[in-house]
Amino acid sequence: MKTQKRKKVTRRNFLGTVAAAGAVSVVPRHVLGRSGAAPSEKVNVAIIGTGGQGIVNMKQLFQEADVRIAALCDVNEESDYSMFYYGNTAGLKPARALVRQRYGQPCPTYRDYHEMLDKEDIDAVLLATPDHSHAVIALDVIAKGKHLYCEKPLCRTVYETRMVTEAARKAGVATQLGNFGHSSEDLRLCCEWIWDGAIGDITEVHSWTDTGARRWRSLTDRPKERPPVPAGFDWRTWCEPVPYRPYHPDYAPVRWRAWWQFGSGTIGDFACHHLDPAFWALKLGEAESFTVEASSYGTTKETCPAASLIYYHFPARAGMKPVRISWYEGGLMPPRPEVLEKGRSMGGHGILFLGTKGAILGGGWSKSPRIIPETKMRAYKRPPKTLPRVKGHHRNWLDACKGQGRPSTHFGYGGPLTEFTLMGNVALRTGKKLEFDWKNMKVTNAPEANQFIKPDYREGRTI
Q: How confident is the model at residue 214 (pLDDT cuts 50, 70, 90)?
A: low
CA 310 to chain centre: 19
- pLDDT at position 5, please? 37
For residues 53 and 434, the answer to whether their CB atoms sit within 8 Å is no
**Confidence check: pLDDT of 263 > 80:** yes
What mean pLDDT do residues 202-215 have? 86
What mean pLDDT do residues 237-241 have? 96
**Confidence check: pLDDT of 254 > 70:** yes
Q: How confident is the model at residue 215 (pLDDT cuts 50, 70, 90)?
A: low
Using CA atoms, how far residue 117 sits from 123, 356, 437, in Å, is 10, 53, 37
Q: Indicate the range of 15-29, 363-377, 422-436 predicted with least confidence.
A: 15-29
Identity at 183, one-letter amino acid code: S
**Confidence check: pLDDT of 168 > 50:** yes
**Confidence check: pLDDT of 7 > 60:** no
Residue 43 β-bridge partners: 67
- pLDDT at position 39, please? 45
Q: Indicate the range of 1-10, 43-52, 233-242, 330-339 predicted with least confidence.
A: 1-10
- pLDDT at position 428, please? 97
What mean pLDDT do residues 354-369 have? 98
- pLDDT at position 85, please? 78
For residues 354 and 205, the answer to whether their CB atoms sit within 8 Å is yes
- pLDDT at position 461, please? 84
What mean pLDDT do residues 9-36 have? 36
Averaged pLDDT of the chain:
91
- pLDDT at position 460, please? 83
**Confidence check: pLDDT of 167 > 50:** yes
Q: Indicate the range of 79-88, 217-226, 253-262, 318-327 predicted with least confidence.
A: 79-88
Count other C-beta atoms under 10 Å from residue 432's C-beta.
Answer: 16
Please give the backbone phi and psi of residue 435, each rounded to the nearest 5 degrees, phi first. Answer: -105, 115
d(CA 428, CA 421): 12
Render pLDDT for 300-358 as a digit per residue (tens, 0 to 9).
Answer: 999 999 999 999 999 999 999 999 999 999 999 999 999 999 999 999 999 999 999 99
Q: How confident is the model at residue 61 (pLDDT cuts 50, 70, 90)?
A: very high
- pLDDT at position 308, please? 95
- pLDDT at position 426, please? 98
Q: How confident is the model at residue 213 (pLDDT cuts 50, 70, 90)?
A: low
**Confidence check: pLDDT of 29 > 80:** no
**Confidence check: pLDDT of 432 > 60:** yes
- pLDDT at position 335, please? 97
